[in-house]
Structure 1
Amino acid sequence: MEIEAKLQSKLEKIFPEQSEREKATEVLAEYGKETYEQEPIRVRLAILKMAGPSIEKLHEFTSAAKGDFRDVLSWAEYPRQSKHWSATGAKKEKLVSADLNEYETWLNT
């Protein structure tokens, strides 16, 4: 499934009511309007993961992404690694695996 389709699917699951989904889509669309706002679909997914079903939190995380999109990507995609950047060896591998598993599970459910 294409990443755009994943975003739409997650929106439909998190916001089953069309009016709320439309509000969420409008908020998410705020990120990616500027040429310097990179990877808009990936960042919107990260915002959605962090905010869950809260329009207020969507606003908060969208604002954070507009400041520095890497923060939101880190929080959503690498929550364990972002707390333990200096980890090495087996510990780092466990963190990477756990973060990847968490994100893929969220993305595919």
Structure 2
Amino acid sequence: MTPEKLLAKIRQALPDADPLDVKRQLDEYTGPERLRVQLAIVKLTDEDRRDSPRHYVDSARQDYRDVLAWAESPQQLRPDWFSLSVTERAKVTKADRQQYARWLAR
């Protein structure tokens, strides 16, 4: 992921938003794995139109891993995760990877 590709994804995922304003909000996150976290924030904002990118930036400042998990591995956060068999966990993990790849590819 490059900053240019991130801006393109912002334009594609959030067509009603000012992409430069969204990018300014994303740039407020300066922690680890910056581009990956910023992309996750775009995905979460795309899926939940009620929250602004700033909401997720604030969450990432607290713990960036939360934002990554919400965007990249949502099904692995299921309350019954630890009761799943190894086979079921593998299926859930694969499904999470596929859903993220589909979002990236659209």
Q: Could you state the TM-score of these two structures normalised by the residue count of structure 1?
A: 0.83
Moved more, 20-29 or 56-65: 56-65
Query: Aligned residue for 2:93?
Result: 96
Contact persistence 1:11–1:21 (CA under 8 A): yes
1:31 match: secondary structure:
coil
Query: Aligned residue for 2:71?
Result: 76
1:7 match: secondary structure:
helix
Q: Could you state the TM-score of these two structures normalised by the residue count of structure 2?
A: 0.85
* Structure 1 segments unaligned to the other structure (5+ residues): none
Contact persistence 2:10–2:19 (CA under 8 A): yes
- The alignment of Structure 1 onto Structure 2 pairs a total of residues equal to 102
Kindly provide the amino acid, as one letter, of the partner of residue 29 in structure 1: D
1:80 match: secondary structure:
helix
Kindly provide the amino acid, as one letter, of the partner of residue 75 in structure 1: W
Deviation of 1:14 (Å): 2.2
**2:19 aligned with 1:24:** no
* Structure 2 segments unaligned to the other structure (5+ residues): none
Aligned identity (percent) is 31
RMSD: 2.0
Query: Aligned residue for 2:33?
Result: 39
